[in-house]
Amino acid sequence: MSERFHIIITGDSGRSTSLQVSKKKFYFTTAFTFCFIIAICVLNYFTIGSFYSKKLLSKKVDKLQMKLDQSETALGNYISEITHLKQQLDQEIAALEYERETLLANQSAEIAQLKQQHGQVIAALEFKHETLIADQKVAFDLKNTTLQLDNIKIVSSAVNDLNERSELIESVMETIGIRLKKAKAQQNSGGPFIPDKELSYDNLLRQVDDYLETIRTIPLGRPVGGRISSPFG
């Protein structure tokens, strides 16, 4: 068996070329070429796979970067919005604090005004009450004075009536020759520890009227001279 391959190459001109290749070299070359092709394919596979992987990874990185940028933008917007809301909240708090202080000041002023008005009303009521008490006292004193004057008038009238009746009784007694003993006037009667004697002028007047009525019914006169004829005197 031949250990060589014979390769004949014929052209259009009719000339032919013969090549002789050793089977061992052919097999070795074929195996080497096959292995080389396989190695190149494997290398290309890994190279292309790495390229595509890198490309996919780059796309993913770009997407992640874009998402990160969007997130940073959204975060910046959120931070800006939060800052704006915080400023608004601070302004509202300041406005509410100012309104609260204003309300407190107004309430304090109203309370002070109400206290002043209340004090004025109390002072006016106290003045009115004192004036009313003074007026009532004056009216009471005036009424008391009027009553005292009326009592004095009544007492004076009663004393005059008693004097008139007393004079009448004295004149009758003098007519019949009886002298009346006049009691001494008691002065400086009464005191802080000795109560003054209260006289009932109505009873005295009634008693004097009874005396006068009795005197009118009795025929009184001076006794006549002569002998007493009656055994009864």
For the chain, give the mean pLDDT: 79
Instruction: Please report whether residue 46 resides in a domain.
Output: yes
**What is the rounded CA–CA span in Å between residue 69 and residue 34?**
50
pLDDT tens, position by position, 106-148: 999 999 999 999 999 999 999 999 999 998 888 888 888 888 8
Domain contains 47: yes
Does residue 8 form part of some domain? yes
Q: What is the pLDDT of residues 25-47, one digit of tens each?
A: 778 888 888 898 998 888 887 88
For residue 13, being part of any structural domain is answered with: yes
Domain membership of residue 175 (yes or no) is no
**Count of domains in the chain?**
1
For residue 209, what pLDDT is reported? Answer: 75
68 inside domain: no
Q: Is residue 207 part of a domain?
A: no
> What pLDDT band is residue 102 in, cutting at 50, 70 and 90?
very high
Q: In terms of residue numbers, what domain contains 30?
A: 4-60
Give me the count of residues in the chain: 233
Confidence of residue 149 (pLDDT cuts 50, 70, 90): confident
Residue 42 lies in a domain: yes
